[in-house]
Amino acid sequence: MTNDSLGSKIWLNGEILSVDDGMVNLSDRGLTLGDGLFETLFWTGQTLRFFDAHMARLNGAARALEIPLPFTPQKIASGLAGLTAEANGVSAAVRLTLTRGIGARGLPFPQKTKPQMFATIAPFSPQTTAISVTCVDIVRASGAPSSRFKTLSYLDNVMAHHQARGLGFDEALMRGSHGQLACASNANLLLDIDGQILTPRVEDGALPGIIRSQLLARNLIQEARLEPSDLALCQHAALTNALHGVRPIHRIENRTLPVSDDWLNRLSNHLYT
């Protein structure tokens, strides 16, 4: 099968359907209240990279939000396999979404929760070209669910990204409640300061990204409280997310940074092994 048909199917509550049948109810709280979670997974062409880590993150977040997971990781894996079958040998982005399901008017959880889960797939190729970033004035609520988890309440990230693009930059850096660096609108931040590669702490507003977690687990980076002034001190910098992996930064505001393959390889060479 070719890439052309990729995205013609979705996985919705346990069934593979045509994308045209992919609809949710107007009263789904994922839509009305941003009450849900998502994961974006990278399909290498052969495998869903870091699938177990994505499932662990989703499971932890769903537990914190008290949204029961309607499927086991095994069942989710076989559902997603129904989508990736069309992308054999071709890389793709797979998005998995969980909502609290239909609810009556108002904020209280439904008396009987019937969560909705669905997944979509789209052609995707990771970019390794270096990018530019700028700080925006949209802050993250450090410690709040929308900062700690990858939730459907993502509008601040959307607008932060849009603001950065409007200023001529590729990506936005967001700060936490107390002005400390948090993360980019859809990626984590790494700063190399005197040979130590540091990434903002979750309690400062950083989303606990998958690549970030993998790098931390391999002791390739360390968590730290980072201030905007650290952007002027770092010798190298990068953004990380599940789709692009580690992506170098060549410019922070008006400051040009060197892009070094050696430096990147320190991180990437040990990441996928």
Residues in the site for a second copy, rule: CB under 8 A? 10, 12, 19, 22-36, 38, 65-66, 93, 95, 97, 99, 104-109, 118, 120, 122, 124, 137-146, 151-159, 161-162, 165, 177-178, 185-186
User: Looking at beta carbons only, is 17 or 193 nearer to a second copy?
Assistant: 17
Name 135's Cβ contacts closer than 8 Å, sequence gap at least 6.
172, 173, 174, 175, 228, 231, 253
User: Looking at beta carbons only, is 113 or 220 nearer to a second copy?
Assistant: 113
Buried b (16+ CB within 10 A) or exposed e, 207-235: bbbbbbbbbeeeebbeebebbeebbeebe
Q: Tell me the three state secondary structure of residue 32.
A: helix
User: Looking at beta carbons only, is 141 or 216 nearer to a second copy?
Assistant: 141
> Min. distance of Cβ 158 from a second copy in angstroms?
5
User: Looking at beta carbons only, is 178 or 218 nearer to a second copy?
Assistant: 178
Distance from the Cα of residue 6 to its chain's centroid:
21
> Min. distance of Cβ 110 from a second copy in angstroms?
11
Name 170's Cβ contacts closer than 8 Å, sequence gap at least 6.
131, 132, 133, 164
> Min. distance of Cβ 152 from a second copy in angstroms?
5
> Min. distance of Cβ 61 from a second copy in angstroms?
11
User: Looking at beta carbons only, is 50 or 118 nearer to a second copy?
Assistant: 118
User: Looking at beta carbons only, is 21 or 261 nearer to a second copy?
Assistant: 21
Q: At residue 40, what is the residue type?
A: T
- Which two structure tokens, joined as six digits, stand for 76? 């989710």
> Min. distance of Cβ 268 from a second copy in angstroms?
22
| Contact present, 10 and 119 (Cβ < 8 Å) | yes
> Min. distance of Cβ 197 from a second copy in angstroms?
25
Q: What is the DSSP string of 38-81?
A: EEEEEE-SS-BTTHHHHHHHHHHHHHHHT---SS-HHHHHHHHH
